[in-house]
Amino acid sequence: MSAEARESAAPTPDASSTPRVFFSMKRLINQLVQLQELLETRAQQLTIGAHDRLAELDTAIGALTRDLDPALASTFVKMHQRLHTAIVPVIHSACAGCGMALPISQAHAVRAATEVHRCSNCGRFIYVAETVAGKRPAAAGRVPKAGVARFSSPQLMLPNLKSEDREGALAEICGRMESAGFAESAAALVERALQRESIMPTALENGIAFPHVRGVEGGGLTLALAVRRKGIRFSSATRGLTRILFFVVIPSAASAFYLKLLAGLAQTFEKAEAREKLMAAETPEELWKALCQTTRRAIP
């Protein structure tokens, strides 16, 4: 057979297969992102001592894991246990997990999403996603080296929350974060926070809630604190009202430290005396002082 004949007989790429591959990979990436969110939620529940919700999470994790290739699922779970994040977005052509810049060819390949890619430096799975943008406000004076002051500010203290429901409370907190220069879009933060609450509510029986948003790239781990003495119905899963809200935005690289922060907050404010000190604050400055003093030992 001539070369021309062999060429004409060779199978030609099916142009319609490219969209199918793209959407297949997008589905797989979404599954991995969902699995990570469930694994992170489970770790958070253990951290704050909410053991009654673990069985529900384990069922959901098991169902999602069984739908993945066994080798991929095993690698993913082990990586999450080791690094706290197993899949991270690519931000400005760099891995959001370790900060390593990707080769130009790989950055284009990740965007094409025709196969699963991993960072050559840290090994995390990587993908392109629309992420919520954070900011690093210009530091005024000396940057704190210890305690909760490293990732919060008097500007992010709301001692007299006005909103009477969950969505309004989140909008008020996120609006303060935007106006204070710690986030670019309050609306995007609220949407993501509500999505996270739909997976597993973050409110506890002692009147505290820990709403948060992951993947807020461009800034650092940032904590806002809001108090409403009358309380709001933050979750139907808890019997009482929520009076103290710790809202945290978390870049991918700070996922491991977030659990340490969460543990410190949960340990401190399981005590009624510590909660009462926050409730007694009338001004942002008083609330900031109470937060720093009560967490001094738990968050060194």
Residue 142: per-residue pLDDT? 54
Residue 21: per-residue pLDDT? 62
111 plus 238 within the same structural domain: no
Residue 22: inside a domain = yes
HSE value, Cβ hemisphere, 13 Å, CA-based, for 38: 20
Residue that has been written with the tokens 């670019």 in this structure: 184
Q: What letter represents residue 119's amino acid?
A: C
Q: How far apart are CA 210 and CA 197, in angstroms?
A: 10
Cα separation values, 4 from 8, 11, 94, Å: 6, 13, 45
Residue 98: inside a domain = yes
Residue 130: per-residue pLDDT? 74
Range of the domain at 27: 17-129
- Boundary of a domain, candidates 129, 159, 183: 129
- Boundary of a domain, candidates 129, 159, 193: 129
Share the mean pLDDT of the chain.
88
Residue 248: inside a domain = yes
- Boundary of a domain, candidates 80, 99, 129: 129
Q: How far apart are CA 50 and CA 293, in angstroms?
A: 26
188 plus 85 within the same structural domain: no
The 10s digit of each residue's pLDDT in 25-81 is: 889 999 999 999 999 999 999 998 888 889 999 999 999 999 999 999 999 999 999
Residue 24: per-residue pLDDT? 85
Partners of 101 in the β-ladder: 94
Residue 238: per-residue pLDDT? 81
27 plus 100 within the same structural domain: yes
172 plus 242 within the same structural domain: yes
Q: How far apart are CA 47 and CA 80, in angstroms?
A: 16
Residue 10 has pLDDT above 80, yes or no: no
Cα separation values, 178 from 96, 133, 222, Å: 22, 10, 12
Per-residue pLDDT band for 8 (boundaries 50, 70, 90) equals very low
Q: For the chain, what percent of residues have pLDDT higher than 90?
A: 74
Residue 52: per-residue pLDDT? 84
Residue 142: inside a domain = no
Q: What is the pTM of this model?
A: 0.83
The 10s digit of each residue's pLDDT in 173-212 is: 999 999 999 999 999 999 999 999 998 999 998 999 999 9
Residue 53: inside a domain = yes
Give the mean model confidence (pLDDT) for residues 245-260: 93
Give the mean model confidence (pLDDT) for residues 259-288: 96
Residue 298 has pLDDT above 80, yes or no: yes
289 plus 159 within the same structural domain: yes
109 plus 210 within the same structural domain: no
153 plus 285 within the same structural domain: yes
158 plus 255 within the same structural domain: yes
CATH number at 51 reads 1.10.287.1490
Q: In this structure, are residues 214 and 40 in contact, taking their beta carbons and an 8 Å threshold?
A: yes
27 plus 161 within the same structural domain: no
Secondary structure (DSSP) of the chain: --HHHHHHHSPPP-TTHHHHHHHHHHHHHHHHHHHHHHHHHHHHHHHHT-GGGHHHHHHHHHHHHHTS-HHHHHHHHHHHHHHS-SEEEEETTEETTT-PBPPHHHHHHHHHTSS-EE-TTT--EEE----EEB--PPP-SSPP-SSGGGG--GGGEESS----BHHHHHHHHHHHHHHTTSBS-HHHHHHHHHHHHHHS--B-TTSEE--EEE-EETS--EEEEEEEEEEEB--TTSSS-EEEEEEEEE-GGGHHHHHHHHHHHHHHHTSHHHHHHHHH--SHHHHHHHHHHHTTTT--
Residue 7: per-residue pLDDT? 38
Residue 70: inside a domain = yes
74 plus 211 within the same structural domain: no
How many domains would you assign to the chain?
A: 2
Residue 1: inside a domain = no
Residue 139: inside a domain = no
The 10s digit of each residue's pLDDT in 118-168 is: 999 999 999 998 777 777 665 444 556 689 999 999 999 999 999 999 999
CATH number at 160 reads 3.40.930.10
Give the mean model confidence (pLDDT) for residues 216-242: 92
Residue that has been written with the tokens 């430096």 in this structure: 121
- Structure tokens that stand for 115 in this block: 């196969």
Tell me the torsion sign for CA atoms 236, 239, 244, 249. Answer: negative
Partners of 157 in the β-ladder: 225
Q: How far apart are CA 7 and CA 3, in angstroms?
A: 6
Residue 288 has pLDDT above 80, yes or no: yes
Conformational region of residue 84, where left means phi above 0, alpha means psi within -120 to 50, and beta covers everything else: left
214 plus 118 within the same structural domain: no
Per-residue pLDDT band for 6 (boundaries 50, 70, 90) equals very low
21 plus 113 within the same structural domain: yes
Residue 9 has pLDDT above 70, yes or no: no
Q: Which residue has the higher pLDDT, 1 or 191?
A: 191
